[in-house]
Structure 1
Amino acid sequence: DSVERAVCRTLDAIDREAAATGEPPLAVLVVRESDRLPGQGWWSGRDAPAWTGPEARAYVDVRQRAAFDYWRSEGR
């Protein structure tokens, strides 16, 4: 658990810095093996649907696509 918490804290810090420079968050790319969605903690404090199911999948898909598109764009 302590390793998972440390990873989450690190990703939160990375995402805060990314937001300040207009980059998309990356923590959304870290997912559970079981359903390929971020863990419950990722959903805390977000204006999002439930953290499981089709609405959650659609919410995550949009954010993951934004991250991939940003980093695939020319000049990166």
Structure 2
Amino acid sequence: MKTNIINIGNSQGIIIPSMLLRKLNLSFKSSVQLEVENGSIVIKPASRQGWAEAALEMHAAGDDKPLLEDNMTDFDKEEWTW
């Protein structure tokens, strides 16, 4: 797919067709990583998008409690260096 570099304020950019964004599950204001690999610009979705919001929702719903109870042994408490 071919596109052109355009002026965006004092910077330059490209328009990414919505078809490509949908394939990567990206939308307006999605975070991406830009890298240069073998003379090409590579755009990748940033990892863990939406995790902060999901964690806040889980906490608000009380769904962020530990799944296992704390079962530290005496060795863990006295001998282990944390």
TM-score range, shorter chain: under 0.3
Query: TM-score, structure 2 length as denominator?
Result: 0.23
Asked which structure has the greater CA Rg, the reply is 2
More helix by share: 1
Query: TM-score, structure 1 length as denominator?
Result: 0.24
More strand by share: 2
Of structures 1 and 2, the one with the larger relative CO (CA 8 A, separation 6+) is: 1
